[in-house]
Structure 1
């Protein structure tokens, strides 16, 4: 099944997963960009943003757990996020952390917070509509083709 067909499937978990991929790139870039500020609180939140990009990477790209040497404790933590509701909660927490950073000073971390909450909304919509979590075949999931068959 092609990427276009996955998007046409109207499964919100696919949309959430691809929004998560955008969040990986954005959190990584903004984490690095803001870590060089002279504000100690912003440096802490930038480091948290950078850390969240790596956590999202392992959650959204499942084949990385097979090729990267990680501990069994880390693997167990990542494997908790296999349902739409757990992923929605995870993204909501990450977004809340970035929104809290705005109390100190408004920075470009706002963009990361917005993208993270959009991903949380997609996963929550998938949960509300009782859609099964389906990972994109492109990112190492079983894909929508398995869901249809």
Structure 2
């Protein structure tokens, strides 16, 4: 299945997964840019959380990395909890709420991360509500590529 065919499938879990990839880029970039905010030290904490979220999302959305990166069994077990649409919606919602709370301290560019994390949560929740089974993108190391490595 090509990337275009995946988007035409109308499976919201694929939309959520690709929005998650966008969240990886945004959380990483915004976490680094807000890390150097010397005048708002509490905002640095939210920037660090945003960076941590980026690395967690990398392992959630790109299953191929769990097979090729040396990680602990505890971390692998934590990441494997998010294999269903509802669990992914929950983790994205929690990460989004954390970034929304950062607005209380100081309005910053972390709002972009909060918005896109919320969009990913909505896509996964819609997939769950519509009863669509989680379908990982083969481009990102879904069923096809991950099985070839073993």
- Give the shorter-chain TM-score range: over 0.9
Does 2:96 correspond to 1:119?
no
How many residue pairs match? The answer is 143
Does 2:18 correspond to 1:18?
yes
1:146 aligns with none
1:84 aligns with 85
Instruction: Tell me the CA shift for residue 118 of structure 1.
Output: 0.1
- In 2, the alpha carbon distance for the partners of 1:4 and 1:41 equals 42
- In 2, the alpha carbon distance for the partners of 1:128 and 1:141 equals 22
**Following superposition, which runs of at least 4 residues in structure 1 exceed 6 angstroms of deviation?**
none
2:147 aligns with none
The residue correspondences of 1:1-149 to structure 2 (distance < 5 A) are: 1-38=1-38, 39-142=40-143
Q: TM-score, normalised by structure 2?
A: 0.94
Structure 2 residue matching 1:20: 3-state secondary structure: helix
- In 2, the alpha carbon distance for the partners of 1:89 and 1:58 equals 16
Cα-to-partner distance string for 1:78-119 (whole Å, 9 max, x where unaligned): 000000000000000000000000001100000000000000
- In 1, the alpha carbon distance for the partners of 2:142 and 2:48 equals 29
Q: CA RMSD in A?
A: 0.7
Note the residue ranges of structure 1 that are not aligned, 5 or more in a row: 144-149
